[in-house]
Amino acid sequence: MPKAMYPGTFDPITYGHIDVARRAAKAFGSLVVVVMQNRVKKGVLFDIKERCSMIEDVFKQDDHITVDFHSGLMVEYAKEKKIKVVIRGLRAVSDFEYEMQMAAANKKLFTELDTFFLMTDTKYSFISSSLVKEIAFHGSSVDPWVPEVVKEKLKDKLNTKK
Ligand code: COA
């Protein structure tokens, strides 16, 4: 069973997320990346299966990283899988308030669960999945922020949407 979980929407996964996941897996020994459904998030481009498949491809050489999905609360997943560590990345001070609220709510719902924050590599501290989608949509290169598999899927998806 993985020691830690890294939940997120990952629509799509970026190098910022990948860096956080690899560092967390190294620190905690094993990690499951959990693709979640954020009810309030609008404009999701990839369905859960597509997001999982890209992430599996990205981490196919990383023995200690697995991929899963969940459509309820992250604490439910943690309880079910007996995971007591949640990993979240912090890009800037602006992430802090939302993350603090979420960590506090999760603690209340499942007292054994602790949230650990990793600072996102400064190279990626300004990017988000939405920004990547916006840049790709307008035909500019997203090479610095996403791996080849994501770049190709973005191209296919955006071509069918145009
Ligand atoms: N590098 C690059 N981008 C990063 C990043 C990093 N290290 N860390 C975060 N981001 C970006 C993401 O790309 C994403 O960008 P977007 O908003 O443009 O899509 C944004 O920051 C938010 O990231 P993410 O980590 O995916 O969080 P989220 O708010 O989309 O999802 C969950 C968080 C898992 C809590 C949400 O999916 C959810 O609602 N889950 C179910 C309900 C639940 O359990 N809620 C908590 C208890 S109250």
Tens of pLDDT, residue by residue over 34-51, are: 999 888 888 899 999 999
- Residues whose beta carbon lies within 6 Å of some atom of ligand 1: 7-11, 14, 16-17, 20, 36, 38, 41, 73-74, 89, 91, 102, 105-106, 120, 124, 127-130
How many domains is the chain partitioned into structurally? Answer: 1
- In the numeric block, which tokens belong to residue 90? 């912090």
Contact (CB, 8 A) for 57 and 72: no
Which of 5, 9, 13, 45 has the most ligand 1 atoms within 8 A of CB, as the residue to mutate?
9
* Average pLDDT over the chain, rounded to an integer: 95
Range of the domain at 60: 4-161
Q: Report which ligand 1 atom has the smallest distance to the Cα of 106.
A: 47
6 Cβ neighbours under 8 A, 6+ residues apart: 17, 20, 21, 24, 31, 32, 33, 34, 86, 87, 88
- For the question of residue 129 being annotated catalytic, the response is yes
Q: Which of 51, 70, 88, 129 is catalytic?
A: 129
pLDDT tens across 114-160, in order? 999 999 999 999 999 999 999 999 999 999 999 999 999 999 998 87
CATH number of the domain within which 80 lies? 3.40.50.620
